[in-house]
Structure 1
Amino acid sequence: MTSKKHVSAGTAAPWEAGDRDRLLHGTHHDPHAVLGAHPAPGGVVFRALRPGARSVTVVTGDLHAELRGDGDGFFSGLVPLSAVPAAYRLRVVYDGVVHETEDAYRFLPTLGELDLHLIGEGRHEQLWRALGARVLTHQGVTGTRFTVWAPDARGVRVAGDFDFWDGTGFPMRSLGSSGVWELFVPGIGEGELYKFEITRPDGSRTLRADPLARRTEVPPATASVVDVSHHVWDDAEWMAHRGDTPVHEAPFSVYEVHLPSWRPGLTYRDLAEQLPAYVTEMGFTHVELMPVAEHPFGGSWGYQVTGYYAPTARLGTPDDFKYLVDRLHQAGIGVLVDWVPAHFPRDEWALAEFDGRPLYEHPDPLRAAHPDWGTLEFDLGRREVRNFLVANAVYWCEEFHVDGLRVDAVASMLYLDYSREPGRWTPNEHGGRENLDAVAFLQEMNATVYRRCPGVVTVAEESTAWEGVTRPTDSGGLGFGLKWNMGWMHDSLQYMSHDPVHRAYHHHEMTFSMMYAYSENYVLPVSHDEVVHGKRSLVSKMPGDWWRQRADLRAYLGFMWAHPGKQLLFMGQEFAQGAEWSEAHGPDWWLLDPSYPAEPDHRGVRDLVRDLNARYRTTPALWQRDTDPSGFRWITGDAADDNVLAFLRLSPAGAPVLVVCHFSPVPRPDYAIGVPDDVPAWSEMLNTDAGRYGGSGVTNPGPLKAEPRAAHGHPASVRLTLPPSATVWLRPA
C-alpha cells in the first residue's frame, strides 16, 4: 500500500489586490485565471476561495499538501510538482465537517464555440441544452454545468444548498462577448437547489432564479432545481402519425383544462389516470392545458410566467408531466399547452431587470410596461430574447411531446398602441402602429416550430382583424396553423343572451361569421375567459327559466359543433355548470352525483356533448372542409322572424349534413326546409331536444321524404317539426 505524503505548501506569490477584491465582491470576470492550479517557478501554485473553511488541502495521488490561509476565505500554496496535475481534489475542513471534492477551477469551459456563436446570433434552437443547469460528465468528472446569459452583470456567482447559499466561493467566468457566464461544479447533481447571484452594474447584488431552469421549487418557494429526466416515452406510434392529416382537414374538438383545479389535489400522475379516461369517454380529440409553465401566483391561472422552461412544481416533477402527456397520447388524445410570450411579471427574483438593467424587457418604459396587467413586455427586437422564446416554443414540443401551442394575447403583441392612450406609444419606423419586432418574432417562432416538429399546430388567440394570421410565413403571413374566432364567440353568445322574442332583431349576430369564416383557419372557442369575472357560466348566459336555459345551451352547442371551424369548450361547461369557474375549487362535479336531485339535467347536457363529439368525429362533412367555402352552403340564413338557421355541411366524398337551428322555445310543426333534389330522404342523426338530453322529446323519428316543392331557393324541401330551442342534424336516409 502506498503511504500518504503530507507536506505543507510553500508560500505562493501574493494575491493581486484587485483579484482579491473582485472575487470577494462578486465582480471577477475570469476567476479561473486566479483560482485553481497554475504553473509557477518552483512548482505549481494552488489557490482556492472557501469562505468559512478552517483548512484546505490539495490531494493528488499520494500527495497531501495543506495550503496556507490568507484570510477572508482565501487559501494558497506553492507545491513542488513538475506540472499541473491532470486531476486533483480539495479536502476542505469546516467546523466539524470535512468535505472532499474536485476543484471547480481546474476545468476547461463546457460550452463550445458553436454554442456561443449561435447564442450570439440568436439562432440557438435548442438553447436549453446550452444554458441553465445540466448534469454532465466533463473531463472524466460528473457534475453540473451552470450557464446564464447576463451581459450587463459585473459578475455572477452560483448559490445553492451546496454552498449554504453563499455564492462567494463559486464565481462564474464570462465567456467573451457572448454575455454568457459559465461554471462547472463537480459533484453537484440532480435535485440540488440553486440561484444565480448577480452583481449589477451599480455594484448591488441580486439573487435570481435561472431563466432556463427546467425544474423549480414548489411555489411560493422560488429556487431553481437541477433536473435530470428519466422518463422513457411510450408514444412512438402517436408521434409518428399525428401529422398524417393536416389539422385543418381533421377532426379537432378541444377540451380546455386548468390542471390544478380540474380535480383539485391531483398530481400529474393522478391526472394521468383520470383525465385520459374522461376525455376519451367524452370524445374530445385534444386537451388544451392552461399554462403549465411555472408561475408564482396561482390566481393568475398560469398567465404570469416566471419559469418558462419548467412545468409547475405544484403538481409534480417534469417527468411526471411527461408521464401525463404520454398517457394522453397512448389514449389517442392530442395535447396543446397555452404559451405566454406576450408578457412576464415583475417579481424581483425572476426576469425583471435580470442583470441590473432591462434585459428581457424593452428598455423603453413606454414599450416595457404592459398597461393592462401590471407586467412587462419582452423586447422582441433583441435577438437573444427572441431566441429565448423561440427555443422555448421548440422546447415544449421536443422535450414534452406536446402537439400544439396556443399562443396567448397575440393582439397585445402585434399593436404598439394596444391599450395605450395617444402619447403613450411610439410609432414604428414607417409611422404605423404595427409592432414589426413582434411580427418578425411570431413568424420566426412558427416557421421554426413547424420545421422542427412535424405534426405540431400553433394556435393564435388574436382578437382583431389582422390579415394573414394563419397564412404561411413565406407568403407574408404570421404562420399560425389556427386562430381563435373571437368574433364568432362574441356575436353568438351575445345573440343567445337575448330573450327569444328579441332575437329576430339580432339575427345577424348568428350569420355574420360566415362573411369571414374562410379568411383564416378558425377555432370556435368557448374558453375560460367567457365564464369568469362576472360573465357567468355558459348555461347561465341563457335567458329564461332553468328548462329554457338548458334547452338554449343544448341548441347552441349543436350549432357550434356544426359551424365551420374547430371546437373548444372549457371544463365544466360540458355538463351545464351553473356557477362561474373558480381556480380555487374547479368544476362542480357534485352536479353529476346521482344523489343530487337535478343530476339528470346536468347528465343530459354532458351526454349531448359526448354524442356531439361522437357524431362529429365520424362525419367528415363536419370537419374536412372547415377552411374551404365549398364545404358550406346556406339553406336559409334570413329566417329571422322564426329564429331559424339552416345550412348544409359538405365533404368531398361523404354524405352531406343538414343542420337546422331553432332558437325559439315553442315547437314549429310542418316547417319546410329547402334541400337539394339529389337526396330523396333525410333522417335525424342528432336532436338536442331528445329526452335523454333533458329535452322535451320533440323529434322526427321517421325518414323525412323530400318533396318536389321549392323552398329557400332549393328545388325540393322537407317538412319537419322544429323542436323548441333545439338544433337538429340530418343526413341522407
Structure 2
Amino acid sequence: MALRDTTRPEAAGPVPPVAAPLDPADRDRLLAGTHHDPHALLGAHPVPGGTLVRALRPNARAVSVLVDGSRTELCSEGDGLFAGVLPGPGIPSYTLLVAYDDGEQEVHDPYRFLPALGELDLHLIGEGRHEQLWRALGAEPMVHQGVAGTRFTVWAPNAQGVRVAGDFTYWDGTQYPMRSLGASGVWELFLPGIGEGTRYKFEITSRYGHRFLKADPMARGTEVPPDTASVVTASHYAWGDGEWMAHRGDLPVHEAPFSVYEVHLPSWRPGAGYRQLAEELPAYAREMGFTHIELMPVAGHPFSGSWGYQVTSYYAPTPRLGSPDDFRYFVDACHRAGLGVIMDWVPAHFPKDDWALARFDGDPLYEPGNASRAEHPDWGTYEFDYGRTEVRNFLVANAVYWCEEFHIDGLRVDAVASMLYLDYSRDSGQWEPNVFGGREDLDAVAFLQEMNATVYRRCPGVVTIAEESTAWDGVTRPTDGGGLGFGLKWNMGWMHDSLEYIQKEPVHRAYHHHEMTFSMVYAYSENYVLPISHDEVVHGKRALVSKMPGDWWQRRANHRAYLAFMWAHPGKQLLFMGQEFAQGAEWSEAHGPEWWLLGDDYHSAGDHRGVQSLVRDLNAVYRATPALWQRDTDPGGFRWVLCDAADDNVLAFLRFAGDGGPLLSVSNFSPVVRHGYRLWVPDGGAVWREELNTDEARYGGSGVGAGGPVKAEDGFLTLTLPPLATVWLVPEG
C-alpha cells in the first residue's frame, strides 16, 4: 500500500515505498488477541527504503504519523489496521494522529516503546523471590522513555494472549494487545497517556480459545463493589509517623504490654470512611487504654457479608471506606495516637468469582491443578498452590506490601490450621499423604516459614500472629529451629475452655474447675494471645455478657470477673468491639456496636458504662504493671496460689515482673461473699493493697472489697472475696 504525504501537493518522482501486508496468520492472531509479540507487528520497524509504521486503531476513520510537524497519512488495511512506510534512514521520533467520527487525537504509539520491566525483575519473578512484587506487576503510573503513562504487567503463563481493556477502550481489548516476556509468563504493555483513576481489566484468551476479562491480581486500587474493575492507583501520602516507626520495635512484643481491640471497620461507625474513622477510632481506643487495634480484613472483597475473609484483591484496601491513601491516613492517625495496627490477613483461600483469581488464565494458576486438592471443603473456595514459586511469591510479597506500604504493625494470619493439614475437613480417601506418608502440607509449612522470615527481616517491629487451633508444635518457634516463625499464636484452647466454664451455673462450676487451670499446663509452649474475638459473639454463640448465667446483675458481674481473670492470665489479650461495654446482642456487620447503650443518662446506661470503665481501668493498670506482661513467656513469671478450690469456685495466682515485683489475682466465680479467706503470699510481712476490684460500685458491682490495705500474717492474707468478682492486689511500696 502506498503512503501519501498530505503536507505537500502531489508531484512526479520516485514511487514511495509500499508497506508489505501482514502475514495472514500473524494478522489473524493479532486481531484475535493471541499473538505473543504484537510489538513485532505494530509500531515502527526499519524496512528497505524507510520505516514501516503500523497501528491498530479500531473504529478510527484515519491514522496519520506526525514527525517534526509533518503529517503523513497511513493507509487502511482493514479491521482497524493502518500502515505505511516513512521514507528516509533511521526510525524517527513520532506520534500518531487518530481521527474518529467525533474528532482527532494526537497520541503516542504504545508499540514504539521498549519493555518497561527489567531483566532483574523477571529473574526474581521466575525465582519466586521478588519481595516487592507490586513494583513489578500490576498497573504502575510512570514516565517511560520520557513519556508519562502506565505500565501494565500481569502473570498469565498459560494464556495464548493478553490485552488491556478499560473505560478508555469501552472495555474492548482489541486495540492494546500485550507482549509476552518469555518464559517468565509475564505480559507487558506501556500505555502512554493513561494515568491514575483509569479503570481497567485484562482480557485473556486461554489456550482453549476462551476469552474473558479478569481484574488485576496486583491491583492497588479497585472499584467499589459490586463493580469489579481494577483502578490505576499511585500513592501521594506523606507519612507523619516517623517517631513511631523508628521505635515500635524497641521492646520485643512478648516482653511488652499488648492489649488488642478487635474492630470490623465498616461497622464500627456504620457509614464512616477511613478518614472519619481516623478521627474517632484511635481516640476511643487510646482513651480505653488499648495498645493495638486489630482490623478484620481490609483487603478488597466483593461480598460485605464475608467480613473481608473472601479476598479477591490482595493488594488493594477495600474502596468502600475510601482510597488507599485514605487508609494510610487512618493507620498514620493510629500511630500518632500511640496505637499499633494489626491486620487480619487471609492466605488460606480465595473465592471462585470468575472475574478474579480463580482459573485466572483459563487454567488453575493460583489454585492447585488437582480439583479435589484445590477445593476448600468448608468455605466453597479455592486454596492456594503453596508449592508453586510464583504463587508463594505473590503471598509473601503481599505480607511485605501491607507492612511496607501501609505501615501495618502486625499480621494476624487467618485459618492457619486449614493450611497446615492435607486432611483438614477431609475424610479418608479425599486427600493424599505427603512424600513422607504424613498429613502435613509441607508446601504450606515452607510458605509460612518463608513469609515469617521475610517479614521479620524486612520490617523491624512487625509481629505475625497465627490463628492456629491445633497442637502443631513450634508455631512461634523461630524458623531456624524448625518452627513456623510466628511471633504470637491465638490460644484457642484457653478461649474454648474458659468460655465453657464461665457459661456454667456457679453450682456446676466445681465440676469444670480444671477448664480454668488446664491452660497453665501448656501456657509456655508457645507465645500466646488470649482471644475473645468476633467469632465468639456471632452465629448464635451470643455476646460475651449474654453467655453468662444468672440474672442481669449476675451476668454483668461474671462478665467483669472473667475479663479481669483474662487480663491477669499469662498471655496477651484481645477483645472484640462491643464486648468492652457488655453489649447484650450478637454483633451484626450491618449495625455494628450498640453505642446507644452508652446513653447520657447514667441510670439507664450505667450497666454498660460501668463495664466500659472497668475495661479502661484494666488496661490502665495492666500497662502500668510489668508483672502482667513482662514475663508472659517465662514460667518463672507465674505461680499458683490456689488452683484446687473447685468447691469454692476460687482461683488465685501470682504474676511477677522482671524485678520480682508481684501482683496477686484472685477470682471468686461464686455468687457468695467469702469472708476470712486465707491465701498464701510470698512476702509474709508485706502490706497489700487492692489495685483493682471488679465488684466496685462504679463498675456496677455490690461494693464488697478489702476496704483498705491488708497486712500478711504468717505468710497469709486474710481477705473478703466479693461475689462473682476478680480482685488484684499488690504489695505497698
Please indicate, yes or no, whether the TM-score normalized by the shorter chain is above 0.5.
yes
Question: In structure 1, how many angstroms separate the alpha carbons of the residues matched to 2:7 and 2:603?
Answer: 85
Q: For each residue in 1:235-278, what CA deviation from the matched residue of structure 2 results, as whole angstroms up to 9, or x when unmatched?
A: 00000000000000000000000000000000000001001110
Question: Once the 2 structures are TM-superposed, how far is the Cα of residue 617 of structure 1 from its aligned partner?
Answer: 0.2
30, 36, 53: which one aligns with 1:29: 36
**Partner Cα separation in structure 2 for residue 429 and residue 60 of structure 1:** 64
Pick aligned residue for 1:225 from 231, 237, 258 = 231
- Please point out which of 679, 683, 691 is paired with 1:677: 683
CA–CA distance in structure 2, aligned partners of residues 389 and 705 of structure 1: 58
Residue 118 of structure 1 and its aligned partner are, at CA, apart by 0.2
Q: How far does the alpha carbon of each residue in 1:21-48 deviate from its partner, in whole angstroms, 9 at most, with x for none?
A: 0111110100000100011111111001
Q: Are the structure 2 counterparts of residues 205 and 597 from structure 1 closer, same or farther at C-alpha, using a change threshold of 3 Å? A: farther
Q: Shift in Å at residue 699 of structure 1? A: 1.4
Aligned to 2:618: 612
- Greater CA deviation, 92-101 or 374-383? 92-101
Query: Which residue in 1 is equivalent to 2:186?
Result: 180
Q: SS state of the match for residue 93, structure 1? A: strand
Tell me the CA shift for residue 668 of structure 1: 0.7
Q: In structure 2, what is the Cα distance between the partners aligned to 1:487 and 1:239?
A: 33
Aligned: 1:574 with 2:594:
no
The within-5 A match list for 1:528-677 is 528-595=534-601, 598-653=604-659, 655-677=661-683
Within 5 Å, which residues of 2 pair with 1:159-198? Answer: 159-198=165-204
Cα deviations by residue, 1:589-629 (Å, 9 ceiling, x for unpaired): 00001248531000000000000000000000000000000
The residue that corresponds to 1:207 in the other structure is: 213
Aligned to 1:294: 300
Q: Tell me how far 1:4 sits from its aligned partner.
A: 9.0
| 2:77 pairs with 1:70 | yes
Change (3 A) 1:6 1:36: farther
What is the Cα deviation at residue 305 of structure 1?
A: 0.1
Runs of 4+ aligned structure 1 residues displaced above 6 Å come to: none
Once the 2 structures are TM-superposed, how far is the Cα of residue 643 of structure 1 from its aligned partner?
0.2
Please give the alpha-carbon distance, in whole angstroms, between the structure 2 residues aligned to 1:611 and 1:370: 43
State the AA in 2 paired with 1:728. Answer: V
Q: 1:41 aligns with which of 43, 48, 51?
A: 48
Question: Aligned partners of 2:103, 2:633: CA distance in 1, in Å?
Answer: 69
Mapped to 1, the partners of 2:533 and 2:310 lie a distance apart of: 18
Please list, as runs of the form range in 1=range in 2, the aligned pairs for 1:394-405 lying within 5 A after superposition: 394-405=400-411
Where 1:416 maps in the other structure, the secondary structure is: coil
Instruction: Single out whichever of 458-467 and 160-169 deviates more from structure 2.
Output: 160-169
2:7 maps to which residue? 5
1:704 to 707, 710, 720: 710
8 Å contact from structure 1 (residues 7, 63) kept in 2 = no
Structure 2 spans left out of the alignment, 5+ residues: 11-15
In structure 1, distance between residues paired with 2:310 and 2:658: 44
Tell me how far apart the structure 2 counterparts of residues 95 and 707 of structure 1 sit (CA, whole Å).
Answer: 99
Distance (Å, rounded) in 1 between the aligned partners of 2:400 and 2:6: 53
- Cα gap change, 1:477/1:118 in structure 2, threshold over 3 Å: closer, same or farther? same
| Alignment partner, residue 264 of structure 1 | 270
Partner of 1:460: 466
1:330 to 314, 326, 336: 336
Which deviates more from structure 2 when the two are superposed, residues 365-374 or residues 593-602? 593-602
Letter in 1 for 2:56: L
Q: Deviations over 1:138-160 (max 9, x none)?
A: 11101000000000000000000
**Structure 2 equivalent of residue 390 of structure 1:** 396
Q: Is the 8 A contact 1:459 1:480 kept in 2?
A: yes
Between the two proteins, the alignment pairs up a number of residues equal to 723
Q: Which residue of 2 aligns with 1:508?
A: 514
Provide the C-alpha distance between the structure 2 equivalents of 1:64 and 1:604, rounded to a whole number of angstroms: 80
CA distance in 2, matches of 1:572, 1:595: 19
Aligned to 1:479: 485
Tell me the residue number matched to 1:145: 151
Q: Aligned to 1:309, what secondary structure does the other structure show?
A: strand
Contact map agreement 1:679 1:732 (CA 8 A) in 2? no
Q: Does the 8 A contact of 1:686 with 1:730 survive in 2?
A: yes
**Partner residue, 2:421:** 415
Mapped contact 2:527–2:571 kept (Cα < 8 A): yes
Match for residue 80 of structure 1? 87
Equivalents in 1 of 2:21, 2:37: separation in Å? 18
State the SS of the aligned residue for 1:614: helix
What pairs up with 1:263-282 in 2 under 5 angstroms? 263-282=269-288
Identity within the alignment, %: 74
Please state whether the residue corresponding to 2:689 is helix, strand or coil: strand
- Contact 1:38/1:84 (8 A) holds in 2: yes
CA distance in 1, matches of 2:26, 2:578: 62
Q: Distance in 2 between matches of 1:7 and 1:627?
A: 89
Residue 7 of structure 2 aligns with an amino acid whose one-letter code is K
Please list every run of 5 or more consecutive structure 1 residues that lacks an aligned counterpart in the other structure: 709-715
Which residue of structure 2 aligns with residue 100 of structure 1?
106
Paired with 1:427 and 1:565, the residues of 2 have a C-alpha distance of 35
Task: Give the partner amino acid of 2:721.
Answer: L
Paired residues of 1:217 and 1:223 also in contact (CA < 8 A): yes
The match for 2:13 is none
Q: Distance in 1 between matches of 2:730 and 2:104?
A: 80
CA drift of 1:286 comes to 0.1
Per-residue deviation, 1:62:
2.1
Retained in 1: the 8 A contact 2:198–2:232? yes
C-alpha separation in 2, matches of 1:635 and 1:124? 53
TM-score (ref. length: structure 2) = 0.98
Q: Tell me, yes or no, if the aligned pair for 2:411 and 2:464 is still in contact at 8 Å.
A: yes
Equivalent of 2:61 in 50, 54, 66: 54
| Aligned partner letter, 1:285 | T
3-state DSSP class of the match of 2:335? helix
Q: What is the letter of the counterpart of residue 43 of structure 1?
A: G
Query: Deviation per CA, 1:619-673, whole angstroms, max 9, x where unpaired?
Result: 0000000000000000010000000000000012152100000000121111111
Supply the RMSD in Å over aligned alpha carbons.
1.2
Q: How big is the shift at 1:512?
A: 0.2
Match of 1:17 in 2: 24
Which secondary structure state, in structure 2, belongs to the residue aligned with residue 5 of structure 1?
coil
Residues 49-107 of structure 1, C-alpha deviations (whole Å, 9 max, x = no match):
1111100011111221100011110100111132111x211111111132211000000
Give the direction of change, closer, same or farther, for the CA distance of 1:121–1:344 in structure 2 (3 Å limit).
same
Instruction: Give the equivalent residue in structure 2 for 1:284.
Output: 290
Pair 1:310-2:316 in alignment: yes
Amino acid of the structure 2 residue aligned with 1:322: R
Letter in 1 for 2:35: H
- What's the CA shift for 1:206? 1.1
Summarize the Cα distance change of 1:6–1:348 in structure 2 as closer, same or farther, 3 Å threshold: farther
Aligned to 1:195, the other structure's residue is in SS state strand
What displacement does 1:16 show?
1.1
Measure the CA separation in 2 of the matches of 1:7 and 1:268: 62
C-alpha contact 2:6 2:72 (8 A) present in aligned 1: no
SS at 2:435's partner residue?
Answer: coil
The answer (yes or no) to whether the contact 1:259–1:289 under 8 Å persists in 2 is yes
Quickly say closer, same or farther: Cα 1:653–1:4, change in 2 above 3 A: farther
Using the TM superposition, give the Cα deviation of residue 679 of structure 1 relative to its aligned residue in structure 2, in angstroms: 4.8
Q: Deviations over 1:508-563 (max 9, x none)?
A: 00000000000000000000000000000000000111000000000000000000
Alpha-carbon spacing, 1:63–1:656, altered in 2? closer, same or farther (3 Å): same
On the 8 A contact 1:6/1:63 being kept in 2, the answer is no
Three-state SS of the structure 2 residue aligned to 1:366 is helix
CA contact 1:234–1:326 (8 Å) conserved in 2? yes
> Secondary structure of the residue that 1:185 maps to in structure 2?
strand
Distance (whole Å) between structure 2 residues aligned to residue 60 and residue 385 of structure 1: 45
Does the aligned pair in 1 maintain the 2:347–2:414 contact within 8 Å? yes
2:688 match: secondary structure: strand
Displacement after TM superposition at 1:366 (Å): 1.4
